[in-house]
Each structure stands twice: as structure tokens, then as C-alpha cells.
């Protein structure tokens, strides 16, 4: 029997979720709701399901097993509470999770009290290159990790028309680089390291005067055992790739016994310490969907976990740690100091 999935949201990114649900085996996309009925109709025409302009009506008429919330943060609280009241077996919420940390903490507690899993749709850790890198670390291919660096270079942030062709609201967001994009790597670093950082230092700046928020900066994380991770982000600059939104940048993970590198093609290379030659762990290829088909990989995991075949990754209680890192990053940048987490 198929799991019934209903999606709340028909915007730019929600289309990747619609498409992934539509091709997942064992899943029936029963409804898509959007306050703009035309968007819902267009999404259903492309991917199936019934279109709704009223999310409450969608929940009542479809009784989904999974409610996937793909709307802006200011709508998350009402949507999650609707899903809890409707008795969904699983609620998935888009990041950034809720409008502030206090609201996210309250929603987490309410979902736990109802006994309904609430998972944050954080898909970057599901990009295939990061899964391959994490497996190589777990297999002790590079020894103890000392440094992780990710150079975020989307190349879409220059000029007065920056972001207008895809996500125009980026221009008016008071917090951009960290709140919208950086949290992906905060979570990815903890996935790669297998633990949370102990301290954070952030140096953030706005390079494009046409936008409201920060679009460049460096964030440094301290980990136990003297390991460090750094997000070096600049949305105005690009990297060597035919599609800068495939990997969004380049990564280097260095350990005592070797290093792992990611280039803009999605290729992962392992080089042993002291060696000039390297081994390819993941070949470059064309991936369907978004960023290595990470949305599909995440949603496949959700189905498997709901059926009892694995534990959920990024359950809301765990993801609160990423939100606390975000709060600390902005405070560090404002105060110009390293903060304990």
C-alpha cells in the first residue's frame, strides 16, 4: 500500500519536492496546496495529485501519511499545527525552520507531545559527494580529520538584478548568506565530523549594495581535538563549473593520512598523504533533480525511516542545534568575537 503524501507549497523550490515524490516508488502524491491556486494547478499538471488553494481542505480531503511543508518560515507554525491536528504520520518542514529559535523549540515540543515525527528538510547532507566523503572518513581512509573547508561560490549575487530571475526575495532578506544558505553547511559540517562544534567565529559582510543582507563572509568552527571547519562564502564569485548550482562550490577535507577534495563537477578525489597520485571515489555525471538529486535521496530516506528501516536524520530536536549555531554566528559577527556553543 502506497504512502500518501501532500505538499504545502508551489513555489520555486517546492517543484523539486513535487518531482521527487512523484517518482519515488511506494508513494502516492495525493495533493499540492498553494495560496495561489494557479501555482497548485500547474504543479499538479506536471507531477500529479489534486490541486488545492486551502491547505486545511487538502488535509481533510486527502488524509496524508506525510505532510511536506515547502513554504516560507512565517507560515511554518500554522502549517505544522495543522498537520499535527490532522494526524499525519510524519511532518516534513522546509528550512529555515520557523521564524525564530523560540518558535522552533515550541513546535518541536508540540510534535514530540503528539508522538508525530517532525523532520527538517535539510537536503545538502544528502548530496552524493558529501555522502561519499562521510563514508571515506568513517572507513578511516584519511585518518583523523584536521580541517574542513567549503568555498561557497554561487556566482549569482552581482549587480542590481541579483537573484531576481529565480528567488527575488533574496534581495530584501535582512539575513541572507547564513540564514538562507550557510545553515546548509553548518549541518553538513556536523554530518561530516560526526559531532557538534564547541566554538564559532563569524566575519560577515555585504558586498552588493543592491541587497539588504550579508552576501559574503567566513565562519570558523572549533571541534574537539583541535579540528577546524571553515565556511568561506561569497555569492558574488563563482567556481570552475558548467553549473555553479550543482555543488555550489568546492570542498577540501584534510586528515592525518590523506585528503578528500570536491570540484564543481561533483567529482570526489582521495589523495593519500605523501602521494602525488589520487583515487576517484565519485565520478562526475549528470544528475537529475537538484544538486546531485539530493531532494530525492532525502525523501527516499524519509519513506524508509517511516517504514521502520532506519532512524530519521535531522529530526527537529536535533536540528535545533543548527539554529543555535545560526544565532551564534550573527552574534559573533556583531560582537567581533569567538563564542562558545
Residue 57: pLDDT band with limits 50, 70, 90 = very high
The Cα 110–Cα 240 span in angstroms is 45
pLDDT at residue 36, as a whole number: 93
Residue 143 has pLDDT above 80, yes or no: yes
Residue 1 has pLDDT above 80, yes or no: no
Best CA proximity match to 213, nearest among 123, 324, 326: 326
Residue 217: pLDDT band with limits 50, 70, 90 = very high
Average pLDDT score over the chain: 96
Alpha carbon of 314 to those of 48, 90, 92, 280: distances in Å? 28, 13, 10, 29
Please give the residue that has the higher pLDDT: either 77 or 12. Answer: 77
The Cα 17–Cα 7 span in angstroms is 8
Q: Each residue of 156-210: pLDDT tens digit?
A: 999 999 999 888 989 999 999 999 999 999 999 999 999 999 999 999 999 999 9
- Maximum distance among all alpha carbons in the chain? 63
- Would the pTM count as exceeding 0.85? yes
The Cα 119–Cα 105 span in angstroms is 13
pLDDT at residue 166, as a whole number: 85
Amino acid at each position: 500500500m502506497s504512502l500518501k503524501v501532500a505538499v504545502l507549497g508551489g513555489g520555486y523550490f517546492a517543484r523539486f519536492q513535487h518531482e521527487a515524490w512523484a517518482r519515488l516508488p511506494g508513494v502516492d502524491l495525493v495533493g499540492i496546496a498553494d495560496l495561489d491556486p494557479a501555482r497548485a494547478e500547474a504543479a499538479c499538471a506536471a507531477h500529479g495529485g489534486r490541486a488545492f488553494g486551502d491547505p486545511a481542505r487538502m488535509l481533510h480531503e486527502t488524509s496524508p501519511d506525510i505532510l511536506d511543508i515547502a513554504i516560507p518560515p512565517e507560515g511554518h507554525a500554522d502549517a505544522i499545527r495543522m498537520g499535527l491536528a490532522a494526524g499525519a504520520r510524519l511532518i516534513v518542514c522546509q528550512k529555515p525552520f520557523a521564524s525564530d529559535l523560540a518558535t522552533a523549540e515550541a513546535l518541536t515540543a508540540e510534535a514530540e507531545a503528539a508522538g508525530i515525527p517532525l523532520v527538517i528538510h535539510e537536503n545538502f547532507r544528502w548530496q552524493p559527494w558529501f555522502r561519499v566523503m562521510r563514508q571515506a572518513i568513517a572507513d578511516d581512509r584519511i585518518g583523523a580529520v584536521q580541517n574542513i573547508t567549503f568555498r561557497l561560490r554561487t556566482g549569482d549575487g552581482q549587480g542590481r538584478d541579483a537573484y531576481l530571475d529565480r528567488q527575488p526575495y533574496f534581495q530584501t532578506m535582512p539575513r541572507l548568506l547564513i540564514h538562507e544558505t550557510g545553515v546548509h553547511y553548518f549541518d553538513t559540517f556536523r554530518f561530516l565530523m560526526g559531532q557538534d562544534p564547541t566554538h564559532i567565529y563569524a566575519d560577515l559582510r555585504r558586498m552588493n549594495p543592491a541587497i539588504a543582507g550579508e552576501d559574503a563572509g567566513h565562519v570558523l568552527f572549533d571541534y574537539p581535538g583541535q579540528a577546524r571547519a571553515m565556511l568561506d562564502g561569497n555569492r558574488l564569485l563563482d567556481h570552475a563549473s558548467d553549473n555553479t548550482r550543482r555543488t555550489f562550490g568546492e570542498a577540501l577535507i584534510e586528515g592525518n593520512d590523506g585528503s578528500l577534495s570536491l570540484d564543481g563537477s561533483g567529482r570526489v578525489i582521495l589523495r593519500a598523504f605523501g602521494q602525488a597520485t589520487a583515487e576517484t571515489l565519485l565520478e562526475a555525471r549528470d544528475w537529475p533533480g537538484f544538486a546531485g538529486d539530493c531532494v530525492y535521496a532525502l525523501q527516499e530516506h524519509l519513506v524508509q525511516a517511516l517504514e521502520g528501516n532506519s532512524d530519521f536524520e535531522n529530526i527537529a530536536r536535533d536540528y535545533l542545534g543548527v539554529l543555535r549555531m545560526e544565532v551564534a554566528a550573527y552574534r559573533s559577527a556583531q560582537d567581533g568575537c569567538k563564542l562558545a556553543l
